[in-house]
Chains A and B, each alone.
Chain A
């Protein structure tokens, strides 16, 4: 076909160039369509300036890191705000203790390993869990220390104590701790177990060390 020849029916003119036998008509694109291109170009300039030159916006990674850090701070803070006094107070609140007991005694929960009477024994047989009704505490007997073990699980992953915060949430964890503490009295002597992390081999001292060594498998 002669490229110069005007098409019939007043159709638009064909352009001269031919590539691979393909020709195009000399027509305007719809303006609204062109504007989407112009807006994209303008957006590119703004984006490039903000993100790559002026450092105004933050990348997704930075946003996520920031959000994660905020969550961590909030969690740490939540942990700090729960004090030994508060947990002791909670352990004297019948409603919280009753709720904690319900969770504790649910089949498959705490009762499975620690026994219905918290002794770690069931009809004469030793259960996997440590007794919770005596004054020997392997990982520290302060309410916040017990609270931490229930939340995060045993620092020794070869033991079965799981991180219950994931399953129960903070509220029910605090209730369970309140239930356990309701079997104890504030100010009673606390002993470390013989195999306590960081404890002396014959650790029958009555003075409980305040600080527990940070668990090696905390992360």
Chain B
């Protein structure tokens, strides 16, 4: 056998002495490989393009950490709105649960950024520079000649270049493209933190994709570990049809099954397992073995699908059930997450206001006028300056006046203002603390926003006389 005996209890990518075994998956072609390339291409284009596509004057996805504004497809969130992100993240989490319960690790094999970068950028570079699996193995074993050194320098140079590009694109999600371009023209010291982030990312990407590779998926990835709890006998996974394949034997052997033990499925596996041992934690559902086996079966004139996407139940001869308590539950959770996110995101307003009581005393009494001092924080999330008119709202006693609410306030595009507001009431009119709120009207489109209610306080009427000190008040007659 050309490879280590592969089994269910040892890692195919770790040698017996604990050292890492460099895997050289063989080339494979077929409909799943083509499909994955297409998906990867779309994802890579999306990754590069998002910062370039303007929606409402901002990139489609722009996490402006510096100005604490976060733009998603035209929706602008101030830092105070970020709580809706909780529902976005849980929604995504539940959709991953849902997809996993139905189709296993389809995320890992087809769409995970780690797989996309590794399979469709770094392994392509390696294939281009070092040749196919056999050539790569030979080159690994070869002595250090000038030719090998040239190849290695070329390969790792291209790896580092790719890592630099990916890291820069990542940074462009957090600073604008112009700013990124400008930073790239300055010395590293001028933007030490951004430079450090990019260098750290580059080093991480280079280390992960040139050396660490499948170890991440097999040992470190928390989603991969959670898998076992999310799949069941009806989940569609990549699997081997034991009934049809066993016993293995060369073509033409009497009584042998369809598996000719050619080991193509093992040779093409990026995580170094033998799929014929059954469902394994290393499997990322990439379907390379499906394409490999189908090619062999077609050559032999046998029906393809000896290794295929199917559930454990269907391999046993049963029927895969897609509707089962688990999928119903996950669907429910998914819709719940999406609905709550959609609801909360639709409630995000393009302006935000809150009221803070000013430092000092809660109220002041001067010349028989009770005064409460507030600071109103106004945030304009629009991409253009807007004017707002402030007014008091609620069940207001007569004589209540607000100084500072008379003239409209203009707030710059994406701007923030702290506006003092003095609310006064004649002492005689003050009976008890009451709630009020401030309405903010956009002078351009007439839309009105409201702050949370806050309290107007003043001197407690019962404390204004000294009667309460008289014990006679409290004695029963």
Contacts and interface: CB of A to CB of B under 8 A. Distances in A.
A30 B364 contact: no
Main secondary structure of the interface of A (DSSP, over half): loop
Interface string A154-172: 0001111011001100000
B20 interface: yes
A33 B215 CA distance: 10
Nearest to B15: A28
Interface stretch (B84-92, B154-162, B365-373): B365-373
B19 interface: yes
Contact of A167 (B219, B406, B420): B420
Contacts, number: 90
Nearest to B406: A107
Chain A: number of interface residues, binned into ranges: 20 to 34
B14 to A, nearest CB: 5
Interface residues of B, number: 36
A74 to B, nearest CB: 22
Nearest to A167: B418
A128 B421 contact: no
A128 B5 contact: no
A43 interface: no
A9 B5 contact: yes
B367 A10 contact: no
A153 B364 CA distance: 14
A117 to B, nearest CB: 16
A208 B10 CA distance: 89
A6 to B, nearest CB: 12
Interface string B1-41: 00001011111001011111000000000000000000000
B333 interface: no
A29 B18 contact: yes
A127 B9 CA distance: 85
Contacts of A112: 403-404, 420, 422
B359 A12 contact: no
Nearest to B14: A30
Given A9-B7, A11-B9, A108-B419, A158 B364 contact: yes
Given A30-B11, A108-B405, 6 more contacts: A27-B9, A28-B17, A32-B212, A126-B366, A158-B364, A167-B420
24 contacts: A7-B7, A11-B8, A12-B9, A25-B10, A27-B9, A27-B10, A28-B18, A30-B219, A31-B17, A32-B215, A106-B404, A107-B406, A108-B419, A108-B422, A109-B404, A112-B403, A112-B420, A126-B366, A128-B364, A128-B367, A157-B361, A158-B361, A162-B360, A167-B375
Interface of A: 7, 9-12, 25, 27-34, 106-109, 112-113, 125-128, 153, 157-160, 162-163, 166-167
